[in-house]
């Protein structure tokens, strides 16, 4: 019995989500009727989830007596395979094409997925845009790849996620992703620690959110922006700010872990940033693809303790 059969006429949307969380070699893939969920983890410090809803596919069929089927798969191999023709990341000017269109220069690569069940590989059919041969006939290069899957059992392998207590959120900021992306792009490779803070101060010069970092060559500090009043302007970086505590909210994180989320932030339109009472950081990025379809990418990061900082 075929558990999953799916097809998209534009491989870019799926590839973009996977690339945003591709900082680890392996991922747990969960297949459900609602779509696909990929989860990756770096030790017990960072967890990321990429959601590919069934609306991202032109055809999607899930058949199983279970509500969800999950397996371990090499996400690095999956990302590399999907870009085998080198155009999974290209920009396409025609976002309203259909699978039946032929001979258009801006028709992207087609992706087909097939999964037969536990013990079987995940099969990918990747069909490149058609080319016109000298005799005016059409030809589309096609590659079929089977990626090995391994059974993943939560009971024995453990839950692949970091817990985040939604009830103890001290600060929540929803902001335009481009501003945060620009700040992260300015961090130097030698940066070890990134500090996120919010002073809960309504004075004119108080930042709504501050990102600061210290490296061997100096210090960086980004305020978003100089006051809450400016932050909430229609053209400002911040859409909304909610605090549940008085005083300063300030937590430190390993820079390398923050930068794991940089691709997802750069690919997204808006970012929700939350810090709870034990310093756990939740980042949720809203991604809208070339066809106006929406999905989310989630990161959870553990804060640095004083002992961790002393060891850096």
What does the pLDDT look like over 16-66, one tens digit per residue?
999 999 999 999 999 999 999 999 999 889 999 999 999 999 999 999 999
Positive or negative, the CA dihedral 227, 228, 229, 230 is positive
What are 254-283's pLDDT values in tens digits? 999 999 999 999 999 999 999 999 999 999
How sure is the predictor about 309, in pLDDT bands with cuts at 50, 70 and 90?
A: low
Q: What is the pLDDT of residue 205?
A: 64
Q: How far apart are CA 134 and CA 145, in angstroms?
A: 29
Instruction: For residues 133 and 198, state if they share a domain.
Output: no
Do 184 and 281 belong to one domain? yes
- DSSP β-ladder status, 209-215 and 218-224: antiparallel
- How many Å apart are CA 222 and CA 91, to the nearest integer? 31
Q: What is the pLDDT of residue 93?
A: 43
| 135 and 218 share one domain | no
The CATH number given to whatever domain includes residue 120 is 3.70.10.10
- pLDDT over 70, % of the chain: 84
The model carries a pTM of 0.88
Domain shared by 140 and 214, yes or no = no
Alpha carbon distance 173, 281 (integer Å):
11
Of 231 and 204, the one with more pLDDT: 204
Q: Write down the pLDDT at residue 307.
A: 56
Q: Return all residues near 21 (Cβ < 8 A) that are at least 6 apart.
A: 27, 38, 40, 48, 49, 50, 75, 264, 297
What range does the domain containing 286 cover? 166-311
Angle between helices 75-82 and 11-20 (to 10 degrees): 150
Examine the domain organization and report whether 93 and 185 are in the same domain. no
Of 127, 157, 187, the residue at which a domain comes to its end is 157
Q: What are phi and psi of 216, to 5 degrees?
A: -65, -25
| Alpha carbon distance 145, 80 (integer Å) | 11
């Amino acid at each position: 019995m075929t558990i999953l059969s799916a097809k998209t006429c534009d491989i870019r949307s799926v590839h973009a989500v996977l690339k945003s969380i591709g900082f680890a070699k392996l991922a747990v893939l969960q297949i459900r009727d609602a779509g696909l969920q990929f989860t990756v983890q770096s030790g017990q410090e960072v967890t990321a989830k990429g959601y590919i809803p069934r609306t991202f596919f032109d055809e999607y069929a899930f058949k199983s007596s279970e509500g969800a089927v999950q397996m371990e798969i090499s996400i690095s191999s999956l990302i590399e395979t999907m870009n085998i023709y080198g155009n999974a990341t290209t920009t396409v000017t025609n976002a309203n094409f259909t699978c039946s269109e032929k001979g258009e220069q801006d028709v992207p690569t087609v992706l087909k997925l097939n999964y037969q069940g536990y013990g079987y590989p995940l099969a990918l059919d990747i069909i490149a845009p058609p080319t016109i041969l000298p005799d005016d006939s059409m030809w589309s290069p096609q590659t079929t790849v089977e990626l090995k899957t391994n059974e993943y059992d939560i009971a024995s392998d453990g839950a692949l996620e970091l817990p985040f207590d939604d009830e103890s959120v001290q600060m929540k900021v929803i902001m335009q992703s481009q501003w945060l992306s620009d700040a992260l792009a300015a961090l130097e490779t030698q940066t070890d620690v990134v500090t996120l803070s919010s002073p809960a101060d309504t004075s004119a010069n108080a930042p709504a959110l501050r990102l600061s970092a210290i490296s061997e060559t100096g210090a960086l500090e980004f305020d978003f922006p100089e006051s809450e009043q400016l932050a909430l302007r229609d053209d400002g970086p911040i859409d909304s700010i909610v605090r549940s505590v008085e005083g300063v909210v300030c937590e430190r994180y390993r820079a390398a872990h923050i930068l794991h989320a940089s691709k997802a932030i750069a690919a997204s339109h808006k970012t929700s940033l939350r810090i709870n009472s034990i310093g756990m950081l939740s980042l949720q990025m809203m991604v809208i693809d070339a066809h106006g379809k929406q999905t989310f990418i989630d990161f959870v990061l553990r804060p640095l303790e004083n002992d961790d900082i002393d060891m850096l």
